[in-house]
Amino acid sequence: MSAASPWVARFAPLAAPGPVLDLACGGGRHARLFAARGHAVTALDRDPAALASAGGPGITTLQCELEGEGAVWPFGPAEFSAVVVTNYLHRPLLARIAASLRPDGLLIYETFALGNERFGKPSNPAFLLAPGELLAHAARAGLRVIAFEDGAVARPKPAMLQRLCACGPDFPSQKALLDPA
Ligand SMILES: C[S@@+](CC[C@H](N)C(=O)[O-])C[C@H]1O[C@@H](n2cnc3c(N)ncnc32)[C@H](O)[C@@H]1O
């Protein structure tokens, strides 16, 4: 799959200048989208073959195992102006992902939700979000929700998805609202 998700493409222009993380990047479709917009992108995955496809101008690849014993979260707090995660869920990372966002950062998340088992894989509930789960996560992390969807989609193939775009407290549009001058 190489075309960017329409959800990610819709919100990518909101990201403030600065570094972007594409977490569990696979072949790097979103790493390329953000690099083309002038961001320095870190594209992380555990799969070297995926990373070989994800590399390119403006993209630094990072091979990293995010789960299991010995897994290390390789980023500090407030590093990224945007983090994008698609088609990947490991719940223990949600708080770390949010902490890695700068206060003006943007989180764009899209992955499968309960009900997807009717359409195919993934069907293991461990990999499927419960209703409203990403919203609750954003609230816990102190992020402001810009947009959220939770339901069935027809394209690129029938699936049950949750999609979130949320930002930190210093996100430019929030500042503009508070201080229009
Ligand atoms: C379904 S693919 C999604 C790829 C990409 N985000 C996209 O939507 O095009 C899931 C990716 O997560 C990576 N992944 C799965 N488990 C991982 C782990 N424990 N640590 C790092 N990467 C992982 C896989 O290697 C795979 O590239």
Residue 1 lies in a domain: no
CATH of the domain at 138: 3.40.50.150
Find the 127 Cα to ligand 1 centroid distance in Å: 12
Find the 111 Cα to ligand 1 centroid distance in Å: 11
Residue 161 lies in a domain: yes
User: What is the C-alpha separation between 119 and 112, in angstroms, rounded?
Assistant: 11
Residue 150 lies in a domain: yes
Find the 135 Cα to ligand 1 centroid distance in Å: 22
Tally of domains within the chain: 1
Cβ-based neighbour number of residue 115 at 10 Å: 16
Q: Is 74 in the pocket of ligand 1 (CB under 6 A)?
A: no
pLDDT, one tens digit per residue, over 10-49 is: 999 999 999 999 999 999 999 999 999 999 999 999 999 9
Nearest in space to 23 (alpha carbons), one of 90, 117, 119, 71: 90
Residue 121 lies in a domain: yes
Q: Which domain holds residue 17?
A: 6-178
Ligand 1: atom nearest CA of 50 is 27
Residue 54 lies in a domain: yes
Residue 78 lies in a domain: yes
pLDDT, one tens digit per residue, over 71-112 is: 999 999 999 999 999 999 999 999 999 999 999 999 999 999
